[in-house]
Amino acid sequence: MTGHQKFSNLTQDFSPARKTKIAEKKAQLKAEMALDELRQALKISQAELAEKLQVKQPAISRLEKRTDMYVSHLRQVIQAMGGELEIVARFADSEVKINNFSELNP
């Protein structure tokens, strides 16, 4: 035997509590991604995204490394990937969607 096992075999003896904790962490990691990870998860190349945004591929590479950008620019990138950007403020007892940054303010 080579010592190789299926991952499902390695986790089959985990307790239900541990499996729940793993599932929660997996959901959290899926919900929180950097822009480049999101693009990759959607199976969109930098070149494809650049074409949709009418820029060159190196611009996408630089964009994905940025830690600060205009909300309008981020919205364009998200829309080019087929998504919709919402900005939500979370407080201890509530959530509020901020509509100042919506494309069409009511």
CATH topology of domain 17-98: 434 Repressor (Amino-terminal Domain) (1.10.260)
Q: What is the pLDDT of residue 106?
A: 45
Residue 58 Cα distances to 14, 23, 51, 65, angstroms: 45, 36, 12, 11
Average pLDDT of span 78-99: 93
The domain spans of the chain are 17-98
Q: Which two tokens stand for residue 49?
A: 């995204």
What is the distance between the alpha carbons of residues 104 and 82, in angstroms, rounded to a whole number?
A: 18
Bigger pLDDT: 17 vs 12: 17
Encode pLDDT of 14-50 as tens digits.
Answer: 888 988 888 888 777 767 788 999 999 899 999 999 9
In this prediction, residue 2 has a pLDDT band, given cuts at 50, 70 and 90, of: low
> What are 34's two structure tokens?
């950097």
Does the pTM surpass 0.75? The reply is no
